[in-house]
Amino acid sequence: MSAATASASSEQQPAGLSMAQVEQVRTQLQSDIEMLQSSIQRLQYAQEGFGESMLAVSRLPTNNQDNSLLVPLSSSMYVPGRLSDPDHVLVDIGTGFFVQMRPKKAQDYFKRKHDYLQVEIDKLQKVLYDKLLTRQQITGIIQMHLQQQQQQQQK
């Protein structure tokens, strides 16, 4: 029994690695995959934020209304108010900087960010896909190996 397992563990894999190394690669792949998935999720969450901002700006009243609105002072109290400057919005561009922009420019800004994030998400998803494929292959190799081991032990 021990001789059979000894020869099985030193048997060369198609990739030229020993069983223990294949297992290591699989573990590393697994953690890479999880990290990629969580990164993609976070990017998508940020992208959603930009999408919502785009929507919010597009809903700003542009015609000559009285610009009255309700301002939330707490989660249960609103106070009537008026938009003092419906022609400009303040956009947070990061690191504590805000820029006054016209609604159209603000929408362009959000769209740019949204699209940029989409490009990054696509890049990550491609890498993730490749890793998932590789993991599948490695799992196959491990299973095949376990089967061979079982067969040898049964002899």
Partner 1 sequence: MAPDLNKKLEDEVEKYRQTQNDMKKFVTQQQQLFVTKTENEFVKQEFENLDSDATVYKLVGPVLVKQELSEGKETVEKRLVYCEGELKRLATLMKDTEKKLEIHREVIAKIQQQIASNK
Binding site for partner 1 (CB under 8 A): 88, 90, 93-101, 109
* Distance spanning both ends of the chain, measured CA to CA: 10
Measure the CA–CA gap between 120 and 118, rounded to whole angstroms.
5
Measure the CA–CA gap between 7 and 59, rounded to whole angstroms.
71
In this structure, the chain runs to a length of 155
Measure the CA–CA gap between 122 and 17, rounded to whole angstroms.
32
Q: Could you give the residue ranges of the DSSP H alpha helices within the chain?
A: 2-10, 19-58, 103-154
Nearer to partner 1, 69 or 99 (CB): 99
Cα of 124 vs its chain's centroid, Å: 7
Nearer to partner 1, 6 or 90 (CB): 90
Minimum Å gap between C-beta 133 and partner 1 is: 27
Nearer to partner 1, 91 or 128 (CB): 91
Minimum Å gap between C-beta 39 and partner 1 is: 12
Nearer to partner 1, 4 or 43 (CB): 43
Minimum Å gap between C-beta 32 and partner 1 is: 16
Minimum Å gap between C-beta 13 and partner 1 is: 27
Nearer to partner 1, 88 or 135 (CB): 88
CA angle 71, 77, 80 (to 5 degrees): 35
Minimum Å gap between C-beta 37 and partner 1 is: 18
Measure the CA–CA gap between 85 and 69, rounded to whole angstroms.
13
